[in-house]
């Protein structure tokens, strides 16, 4: 499972808060002057990912990361092909034109470049948010002229046997120009009478509809392409001597090279993964999942394989992806510190003593820094991952959760400054947000997850199942509870004592978080462009808290300036006092399963909003031209080879350019 953080100020699924981010204080200063936002391409932002801790890794870990990085690149085209049968040919045509563009008309070239950048970011012609196809804006004639000009400069196109360049362009024109041809990569609700597989343009099924499954036993549900051949279904298994055999052989070669540098548990997991790539058998996949989960302490880790099933309308076929990362020790330490002190916080929760838990254990996750993400995880990346997906393995062996620290930092740092200034009442509020919102956001997110969700005791009559009593109110209430725990303890001197905040800046950090949390209650309205109700649970939770504080304390004031509405946090101690009161009531509602009270709380504060306010917010946000999602340029690793052919060092650098990286990945960089 993944947690998505699609763009600036995004809502993470659980990830708690406004999923802004981290940064320990010293890193803030280093981070200010280098580029995060590289360029805008339509509604997408292109951003640079940094992996600052890489240089400090011991050499054997650097070499390990390097081999895993090569394995991640080796499988990249698998996902291109899975996502759309024509993707690789389309990419080659585009890249050939762009790398032989001297004689191409400048206007056409600009249009091709714009389209190609979106194509790279989305791994093909389908928007990753909407699953809908986007098309090239130049005319087919201008595109053909560009291809001819490129051919004259030496471009080599993916022409089929006996085909002319014009015939190839005519054959491929509908792919580039016709939005009604293969309109959606994944269509889970295609409309009455339509089949979800036939309506989905991905390459996980060929000529297969849901009806074909009758009487068919699927052996390789996760790792095969299903093809109808001569009237019967054939599973093309993804394995070293099967479908995608060549890239898989390359992946395996790099994994084998990595094994000697891995810790014993990680080496076991890598060997299990190699075995699965060799056989494709479900039993070997399960063995790999188990070995991967058991490796819970290695400083370096990788996810590599057919993992998530979101792209398949049927939810069965795994899309290939790879991530390579190392544990961010400092940030993971902060999570562990909170977890180890969970009982201290529990004993001081502002709710009735009978709802306090004995022997509470915090929830732990690793904070990681990603070195590379390919396939379904890049250039558009999740911010949190919890694996394996196999429910049986999870129940028996547990799962691993990671939060992608440097990705979250990048989202925050690439946020246009106007996004904060537009909704902040004073320049001081803006300055506090710039200095501390990352830091405070990560801290409160950790508190939300580690001591928030883990806390509290239920009344016996609920039998451990508050969902059954609270029904559709449960999730929003539980998310509110976790947020409130974080907001309540944020000003506590205990945090400075534990080394989680610098004591001298503690007050500023609290202000930055309370102000940001308050602003978010109106800024988030931009996401709901229709109607006057919030549906998403995190959005309900955040609105409920802020509106309840507005109605029950003097902490927050609604003000107007130049026809614009502001929510202004004016009294941090009143804010905290109110949070404590609300938290006590929210805990009581959960512990007792008081459905009517939950419903009343959200109906009166969390769900409804005024359309005029939303319209105003939408207008202000649209004027800022914020990106809808971000494509990440990855760090680049290079091996330094010694006289004896062995790797003596691995260096990391940052291309700061999407086109350079994409052309390099596909071997087309001139
Ligand atoms: Zn949560």
552 alpha carbon – ligand 1 mean position (Å): 24
Whether 390 is in a domain gets the answer yes
The tens digit of pLDDT for each residue in 302-348 reads: 999 999 998 999 999 999 999 999 999 989 999 999 999 999 999 99
Domain that holds residue 17: 2-53+328-624
Whether 137 is in a domain gets the answer no
What percent of the chain shows pLDDT beyond 70? 95
- Report the C-alpha gap between 498 and 362 in whole angstroms: 15
End-to-end CA, the chain = 38
Whether 561 is in a domain gets the answer yes
415 alpha carbon – ligand 1 mean position (Å): 23
With contact defined as beta carbons under 8 Å apart, do 493 and 512 qualify? Answer: no
With contact defined as beta carbons under 8 Å apart, do 657 and 38 qualify? Answer: yes
501 alpha carbon – ligand 1 mean position (Å): 22
Here the tokens at position 527 are 């996401």
Here the tokens at position 120 are 């790279």
388 alpha carbon – ligand 1 mean position (Å): 20
Residue with tokens 């070669």: 253
Please say if the pLDDT value at position 11 is more than 70.
no
18 alpha carbon – ligand 1 mean position (Å): 11
Say which residues have a Cβ less than 8 Å from residue 608's Cβ, sequence separation at least 6: 532, 533, 534
The tens digit of pLDDT for each residue in 103-147 reads: 999 999 999 999 999 999 999 999 987 899 999 999 999 999 999
The tens digit of pLDDT for each residue in 164-196 reads: 999 999 999 999 999 999 999 999 888 889 999
Here the tokens at position 218 are 């699927």
E strands, 532-657, in order? 556-561, 564-569, 629-633, 636-641, 647-653
Q: What DSSP character marks residue 356?
A: P
Average pLDDT, the chain: 92
303 alpha carbon – ligand 1 mean position (Å): 24
Here the tokens at position 539 are 């959005």
448 alpha carbon – ligand 1 mean position (Å): 6
479 alpha carbon – ligand 1 mean position (Å): 5
Q: Count the domains in the chain.
A: 1
- Report the C-alpha gap between 136 and 125 in whole angstroms: 9
With contact defined as beta carbons under 8 Å apart, do 629 and 44 qualify? Answer: yes
With contact defined as beta carbons under 8 Å apart, do 83 and 203 qualify? Answer: yes
248 alpha carbon – ligand 1 mean position (Å): 37
261 alpha carbon – ligand 1 mean position (Å): 36
Whether 129 is in a domain gets the answer no
For the ranges 276-285, 431-440, 450-459, the one whose mean pLDDT is highest? 276-285
pLDDT at 17: 31
pLDDT at 364: 75
- Report the C-alpha gap between 464 and 219 in whole angstroms: 37
The tens digit of pLDDT for each residue in 619-668 reads: 998 898 888 889 999 999 999 999 999 999 999 999 999 999 999 999 99
The tens digit of pLDDT for each residue in 527-584 reads: 888 889 988 888 999 999 999 999 999 999 999 999 999 999 999 999 999 999 999 9
Q: How far is CA 151 from CA 142, 211, 500, in A?
A: 14, 46, 60
542 alpha carbon – ligand 1 mean position (Å): 12
Whether 172 is in a domain gets the answer no
With contact defined as beta carbons under 8 Å apart, do 146 and 112 qualify? Answer: yes
177 alpha carbon – ligand 1 mean position (Å): 42
With contact defined as beta carbons under 8 Å apart, do 559 and 568 qualify? Answer: yes
Concatenate the DSSP letters of all residues of 456-472 into one string: ----GGGTT-HHHHHGG
13 alpha carbon – ligand 1 mean position (Å): 7
Here the tokens at position 597 are 């009270």
Here the tokens at position 660 are 């350079």
365 alpha carbon – ligand 1 mean position (Å): 13
Whether 118 is in a domain gets the answer no
pLDDT at 468: 87
Whether 519 is in a domain gets the answer yes
Please say if the pLDDT value at position 25 is more than 70.
no
- Report the C-alpha gap between 289 and 306 in whole angstroms: 12
Q: What is the mean pLDDT of residues 30-46?
A: 85
Please say if the pLDDT value at position 270 is more than 60.
yes
pLDDT at 4: 62
Q: Note if the bond before 616 is cis, omega within 30 degrees.
A: no
CA-nearest of 480, 478, 457, 448 to 356 is 457
Whether 86 is in a domain gets the answer no
């Amino acid at each position: 499972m993944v947690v998505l953080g699609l763009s600036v100020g995004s809502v993470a699924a659980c990830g708690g808060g406004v999923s802004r981010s981290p940064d320990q204080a010293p890193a803030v200063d280093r981070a200010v002057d280098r580029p995060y936002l590289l360029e805008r391409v339509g509604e997408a932002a292109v951003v640079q990912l940094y992996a600052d801790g890489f240089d400090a890794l011991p050499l054997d870990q650097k070499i390990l990361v390097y081999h895993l990085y090569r394995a991640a690149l080796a499988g990249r085209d698998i996902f291109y092909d899975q996502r759309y049968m024509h993707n690789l040919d389309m990419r080659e045509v585009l890249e050939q034109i762009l790398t032989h563009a001297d004689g191409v008309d400048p206007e056409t070239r600009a249009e091709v470049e714009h389209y190609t950048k979106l194509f790279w970011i989305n791994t093909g012609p389908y928007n990753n948010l909407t699953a809908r196809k986007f098309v090239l804006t130049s005319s087919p004639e201008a595109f053909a002229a560009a291809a001819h000009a490129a051919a004259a400069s030496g471009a080599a196109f993916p022409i089929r046997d006996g085909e002319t360049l014009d015939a190839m362009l005519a054959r491929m024109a509908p792919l580039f120009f016709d939005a009604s041809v293969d309109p959606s990569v994944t269509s889970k609700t295609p409309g009455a009478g339509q089949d979800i597989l036939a309506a989905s343009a991905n390459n996980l099924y060929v000529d297969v509809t849901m009806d074909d499954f009758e009487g068919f036993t699927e052996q390789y549900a996760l790792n095969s392409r299903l093809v109808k051949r001569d009237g019967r279904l054939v599973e093309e298994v993804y394995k070293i001597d099967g479908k995608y055999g060549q890239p898989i052989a390359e992946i395996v070669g790099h994994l084998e090279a990595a094994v000697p540098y891995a810790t014993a548990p990680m080496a076991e997991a890598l060997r299990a993964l190699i075995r699965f790539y060799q056989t494709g058998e479900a039993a070997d996949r399960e063995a790999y999942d188990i070995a991967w989960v058991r490796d819970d302490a290695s400083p370096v880790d990788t996810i590599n394989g057919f993992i998530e099933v979101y792209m398949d309308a049927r939810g069965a076929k795994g899309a290939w992806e790879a991530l390579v990362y190392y544990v961010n020790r400092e940030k993971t330490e902060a999570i562990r510190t909170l977890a180890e002190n969970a009982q201290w916080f529990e004993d001081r929760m502002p709710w009735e003593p009978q709802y306090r838990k004995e022997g509470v254990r915090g929830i732990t996750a690793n904070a990681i820094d990603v070195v590379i993400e390919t396939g379904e995880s890049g250039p558009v990346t999740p911010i949190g991952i919890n694996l394996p997906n196999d429910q049986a393995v999870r129940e028996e062996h547990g799962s691993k959760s990671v939060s992608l620290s440097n990705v979250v930092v990048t989202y925050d740092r690439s946020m246009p400054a106007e996004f904060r200034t537009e909704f902040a009442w004073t320049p001081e509020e803006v300055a506090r947000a710039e200095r501390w919102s990352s830091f405070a956001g990560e801290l409160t997110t950790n508190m939300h997850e580690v001591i928030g969700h883990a806390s509290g005791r239920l009344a016996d009559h609920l039998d451990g199942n508050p969902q059954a009593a609270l029904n559709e109110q449960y999730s929003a209430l539980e998310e509110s509870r976790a947020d409130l725990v974080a907001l309540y303890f944020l000003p506590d001197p205990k945090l400075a004592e534990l080394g989680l905040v610098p004591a001298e800046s503690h007050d500023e950090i609290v202000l930055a978080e309370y102000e940001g949390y308050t602003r978010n209650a109106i800024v988030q309205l931009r996401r709901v462009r229709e109607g006057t109700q919030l549906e998403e649970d995190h959005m309900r939770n955040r609105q409920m808290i802020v509106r309840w504080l507005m109605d029950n304390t003097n902490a927050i004031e609604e003000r107007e300036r130049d026809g614009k509405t502001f929510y202004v946090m004016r009294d941090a101690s009143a804010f905290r006092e109110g949070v404590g009161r609300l938290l006590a009531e929210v805990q009581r509602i959960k512990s007792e399963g008081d459905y009517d009270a939950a419903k009343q709380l959200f109906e009166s504060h969390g769900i409804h909003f005024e359309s005029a306010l939303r319209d105003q917010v939408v207008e202000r946000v649209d004027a800022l031209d914020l990106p809808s999602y971000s494509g990440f340029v990855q760090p680049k690793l290079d091996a330094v080879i010694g006289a004896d052919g062995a790797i003596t060092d691995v260096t990391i650098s940052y291309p700061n350019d999407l086109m350079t990286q994409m052309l390099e990945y596909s071997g087309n960089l001139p």
